[in-house]
Amino acid sequence: MVRYADRLDAIPPYLFVEMAQLKAKAIAEGRDLIDFGIGDPDQPTPQPIIDRLGEAANNPATHRYDESDYGCPEFINAAAAWYRRRFSVELDPSRGEVLGLIGSKEGLAHLAWAFISPGDVGLVPDPGYPVYKVNTAMAGGTPYLMPLLAENAFLPDLSAIPSDVAKRAKLMYINYPNNPTAATATPKFFADVVAFAKEYDVIVCQDAAYSEVTYDGYKSPSFLAVPGAMDVGVEMHSLSKTYNMTGWRVGFAVGNADILRGLNKLKSNIDSKQFPALMLAGAWALRNLEGNPKTIALYQKRRDIIIDGLNSLGWNLPKTEATLYIWAPIPPGYAAIEFAKTLLEKAGVLVVPGVGYGEYGEGYVRLSLTVTGDRDGERVAEAIERIKQNVEIKW
Ligand SMILES: *Cc1c(COP(=O)(O)O)cnc(C)c1O
Examine residue 54 and state whether it is found in any structural domain, yes or no: no
- Ligand 1 binding pocket mutation candidate from 129, 274, 327 (most atoms within 8 A of CB): 129
Single out the residue in 257, 288, 319 at which a domain terminates.
288
Do residues 220 and 197 share a domain?
Answer: yes
Report the atom number in ligand 1 closest to the C-alpha of 106. Answer: 8
Do residues 92 and 183 share a domain?
Answer: yes
pLDDT of residue 19: 79
CATH number for 325: 3.90.1150.10
Spatial CB neighbours of 154, under 8 Å, sequence gap ≥ 6: 148, 178, 181, 183, 327
Please state whether the predicted TM-score (pTM) of the whole model is above 0.85.
yes
**Nearest of 290, 285, 283 to residue 77 by alpha carbon:** 283
- Spatial separation of the C-alpha atoms in residues 238 and 234, rounded to whole Å: 13
Residue 324 Cα to ligand 1 middle (Å): 11
Do residues 268 and 298 share a domain?
Answer: no
Do residues 150 and 283 share a domain?
Answer: yes
**Nearest of 80, 112, 124 to residue 224 by alpha carbon:** 80
Report the atom number in ligand 1 closest to the C-alpha of 239. Answer: 9
Examine residue 52 and state whether it is found in any structural domain, yes or no: no
User: For atom 15 of ligand 1, which residue has the closest CA?
Assistant: 179
130 three-class SS = helix
**Nearest of 354, 334, 344, 343 to residue 23 by alpha carbon:** 344
Domain limits for position 149: 64-288
Examine residue 41 and state whether it is found in any structural domain, yes or no: yes
Which regions of the chain does DSSP assign to beta strands (E)?
34-35, 98-101, 121-126, 142-147, 169-175, 203-207, 233-238, 251-255, 325-329, 349-350, 352-353, 364-368
Report the atom number in ligand 1 closest to the C-alpha of 175. Answer: 13
How far apart, in Å, are the Cα atoms of 306 and each of 5, 299, 341, 382, 388?
44, 10, 19, 10, 12
**Nearest of 173, 176, 156 to residue 108 by alpha carbon:** 173
pLDDT of residue 261: 98
Examine residue 58 and state whether it is found in any structural domain, yes or no: no
Examine residue 153 and state whether it is found in any structural domain, yes or no: yes
Examine residue 395 and state whether it is found in any structural domain, yes or no: no
Report the atom number in ligand 1 closest to the C-alpha of 249. Answer: 7
Q: Is 179 in the pocket of ligand 1 (CB under 6 A)?
A: yes
Residue 360 contacts residue 151 (beta carbons within 8 Å)? no
Side-chain-side CA neighbours of residue 327 (13 Å): 27
Residue 156 contacts residue 176 (beta carbons within 8 Å)? no
pLDDT of residue 275: 98
Examine residue 278 and state whether it is found in any structural domain, yes or no: yes
Regions in the chain scoring below 50 on pLDDT: none
Do residues 310 and 255 share a domain?
Answer: no
Cα angle 315, 321, 323; round to 5 = 100
Single out the residue in 256, 288, 320 at which a domain terminates.
288
Do residues 284 and 314 share a domain?
Answer: no
Residue 14 contacts residue 21 (beta carbons within 8 Å)? no
Residue 176 contacts residue 220 (beta carbons within 8 Å)? yes
CATH number for 252: 3.40.640.10
Indicate the number of domains in the chain: 2
Spatial CB neighbours of 348, under 8 Å, sequence gap ≥ 6: 26, 31, 32, 33, 34, 386
Q: Is 235 in the pocket of ligand 1 (CB under 6 A)?
A: no
How many angstroms separate the most distant Cα atoms in the chain? 63
Report the atom number in ligand 1 closest to the C-alpha of 40. Answer: 1
pLDDT of residue 337: 86
Examine residue 182 and state whether it is found in any structural domain, yes or no: yes
Do residues 195 and 298 share a domain?
Answer: no
Do residues 252 and 306 share a domain?
Answer: no
Do residues 81 and 162 share a domain?
Answer: yes
Do residues 272 and 347 share a domain?
Answer: no
Number of residues in the chain: 395
Question: What pLDDT digit, counting tens, does each position of 223-250 carry?
Answer: 999 999 999 999 999 999 999 999 999 9
Residue 105 Cα to ligand 1 middle (Å): 6
Phi/psi of residue 289, nearest 5 degrees: -115, 125
What is the secondary structure of 308-364 as a DSSP string?
Answer: HHHHHTT--PPPP-BSSEEEEEPPTT--HHHHHHHIIIII-EE-EEGGGG-GGGTTE
- Spatial separation of the C-alpha atoms in residues 301 and 303, rounded to whole Å: 5
Do residues 145 and 20 share a domain?
Answer: no
Single out the residue in 260, 288, 316 at which a domain terminates.
288
Q: Is 240 in the pocket of ligand 1 (CB under 6 A)?
A: yes
Do residues 198 and 116 share a domain?
Answer: yes
Q: Is 104 in the pocket of ligand 1 (CB under 6 A)?
A: yes
